[in-house]
């Protein structure tokens, strides 16, 4: 099975929410829709499901135009951010409910419910009601009900957003195994780059109703085509600084000048914007072949295994992620250090011209 959005536009009250999107999804694949709130992720899912009709363009399933076909006539299951279960039914009956609606034989229902419960580690809880479960167990029940339906297309719209950190981490590690075992087309929406990286598969970066870039998740992360993609796929936010390359040297906005080594050596003279993720910014003194900037600490957030150091340099705000505990105080002055081999360089139009590993 394949599902295609063919030059789809969706407008609400004359305001476009999806702008000329073309996308094909194939059986057995996992695609992650990554973007901030209001980037169009849910709108794409609703078009795929048949809950909404495009203003123009087509939705095609296996070569057949299904634009406007009711969701009840499509092989689709959807799991929402707010997990929805029948409170008066047991976990077993919640999972079995779509099969009973389909009129499946009792033996088939038993086999498929038990298999879904095994995949989602719900076997000990089948006789409980949803209110007797933790939030993670309730969301696993909702996912099991979607899987047991046997739909060709399974849509998960930020399904872990309302769970606490521990439960989210647990389900994030389980989901790739579940997706692989199912064989359906999975589409997973998230605002979090870390979630996209953990799930793997293919990532589709979205911004204001447009697809900016789509491809294998690790490749999109390591080689963002544009500055905007790098910003969407960075958390903490991407650090950015302007540079001017001229006569074998680089001058950074704010006055720091350094030899045009590393990735800079391949650039022609002119103005560029440099992006670097929080883990690419070091805090140290006197490292050879590095470009250093004096910066002031504004906040230090310590998670235990990492410290997030927020820095102010002139009118720029940067974040560095350092391993371990670093108790910098607001007002401390540090050297923020860049490795010229470990950053992204974009031209004046925001197109990537150099990246780590591209030399």
- Does residue 359 carry a pLDDT above 70? no
* pLDDT the model gives residue 118: 87
Tokens of 224: 């963002």
CA-wise closest residue to 243 among 252, 235, 230:
252
pTM (predicted TM-score): 0.90
Greater confidence, 177 or 203? 203
* pLDDT the model gives residue 82: 76
Q: Tell me how far apart the alpha carbons of residues 172 and 153 are, in angstroms, rounded to a whole number.
A: 20
Q: Using DSSP bridges, classify how beta strands 239-246 and 249-252 pair: parallel, antiparallel or unpaired.
A: antiparallel
CA-wise closest residue to 128 among 85, 175, 174:
85
CATH number assigned to the domain covering 2-227: 3.40.50.300
CA-wise closest residue to 306 among 340, 283, 330, 337:
283
pLDDT in tens, 36-84: 999 999 999 999 999 999 999 999 999 999 998 988 888 899 988 777 8
| For the chain, domain boundaries | 2-227, 239-354
List, in order, residues 6 or more apart from 250 with CB less than 8 Å away: 243, 244, 257, 258, 259, 260, 264, 291, 340
CA-wise closest residue to 47 among 7, 84, 82, 85:
7
pLDDT in tens, 256-301: 899 999 999 999 999 999 999 999 998 875 455 578 888 999 999 9
Q: Tell me how far apart the alpha carbons of residues 194 and 73 are, in angstroms, rounded to a whole number.
A: 35
* For range 82-94, the mean pLDDT: 90
* For range 315-326, the mean pLDDT: 92
Which CATH homologous superfamily contains domain 239-354? Answer: Nucleic acid-binding proteins (2.40.50.140)
pLDDT in tens, 115-138: 889 888 899 999 999 999 988 888
Question: How far does the chain reach from its first CA to its final CA, in angstroms?
Answer: 40
* pLDDT the model gives residue 289: 56
Under the banding of pLDDT at 50, 70 and 90, the label for residue 109 is very high
Spell out the SS3 assignment of the chain. CEEEEEEEEEEECCEEEEEEEEEEEECCCEEEEECCCCCCHHHHHHHHHCCCCCCEEEEEECCEECCCCCHHHCCEEEECCCCCCCCCCCHHHHHHHHHHHCCCCHHHHHHHHHHHHHHCCCHHHCCCCHHHCCHHHHHHHHHHHHHHCCCCEEEEECCCCCCCHHHHHHHHHHHHHHHHHHCCEEEEEECCHHHHHHHCCEEEEEECCEEEEEEEHHHHHHCCCEHHHHHHCCCCCCEEEEEEEECCEEEECCCCEEECCHHHHHCCCEEEEEEECHHHEEECCCCCCCEEEEEEEEEEEECCCEEEEEEEECCEEEEEEEECCCCCCCCCEEEEEECCCCCEEECCCCEEEECCCCC
Greater confidence, 175 or 189? 189
- Does residue 99 carry a pLDDT above 70? yes
Question: Considering the chain, what percentage of its residues have pLDDT values greater than 90?
Answer: 69
Mean pLDDT of the chain: 91
* pLDDT the model gives residue 285: 55
Greater confidence, 178 or 73? 73
Q: How far is CA 258 from the centre of its chain?
A: 35
* pLDDT the model gives residue 345: 97
pLDDT in tens, 213-267: 999 999 999 999 999 999 999 999 999 999 999 999 999 988 889 999 999 999 9
């Amino acid at each position: 099975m394949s599902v295609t959005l063919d030059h789809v536009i969706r407008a609400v009250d004359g305001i476009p929410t999806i702008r000329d999107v073309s996308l094909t999804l194939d059986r057995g694949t996992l695609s992650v829709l990554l973007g901030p709130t209001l980037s169009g992720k849910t709108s794409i899912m609703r078009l795929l499901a048949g809950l909404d009709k495009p203003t123009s363009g087509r939705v095609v399933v296996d070569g057949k135009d299904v634009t406007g076909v009711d969701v009840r006539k499509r092989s689709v299951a959807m799991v929402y951010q707010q997990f929805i279960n029948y409170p008066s039914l047991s976990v077993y009956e919640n999972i079995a409910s779509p099969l009973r609606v389909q009129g499946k034989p009792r033996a088939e229902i038993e086999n498929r419910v038990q298999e879904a419960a095994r995949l989602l580690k719900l076997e000990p809880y089948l006789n409980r009601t949803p209110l007797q479960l933790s939030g993670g167990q309730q969301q696993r029940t909702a996912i099991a009900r979607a899987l047991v339906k046997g739909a060709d297309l399974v849509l998960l719209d930020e399904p872990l957003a309302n769970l606490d950190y521990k439960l989210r981490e647990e389900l994030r590690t389980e989901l790739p195994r579940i997706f692989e075992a199912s064989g359906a087309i999975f589409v997973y929406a998230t605002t979090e780059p870390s979630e996209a990286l953990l799930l793997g598969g293919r990532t589709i970066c979205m911004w204001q109703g447009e697809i900016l870039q789509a491809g294998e998740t690790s490749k999109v992360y390591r080689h963002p085509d544009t500055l905007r993609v790098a910003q969407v796929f960075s958390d903490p936010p991407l650090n950015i600084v302007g540079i001017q390359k001229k006569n074998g040297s680089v001058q950074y906005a704010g006055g720091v000048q350094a030899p045009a080594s590393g990735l800079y050596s391949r650039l022609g003279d002119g103005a560029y914007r440099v992006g670097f993720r929080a883990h690419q910014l070091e805090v140290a003194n006197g490292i050879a072949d590095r470009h250093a900037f004096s910066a002031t600490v504004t906040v230090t957030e310590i998670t235990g295994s990492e410290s997030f150091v927020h820095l102010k340099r002139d009118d720029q705000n940067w974040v560095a992620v350092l391993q371990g505990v670093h108790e910098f105080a607001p007002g401390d002055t540090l050297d923020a250090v860049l490795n010229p081999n470990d950053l992204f360089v974009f031209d004046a139009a925001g197109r990537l011209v150099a990246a780590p590993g591209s030399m």
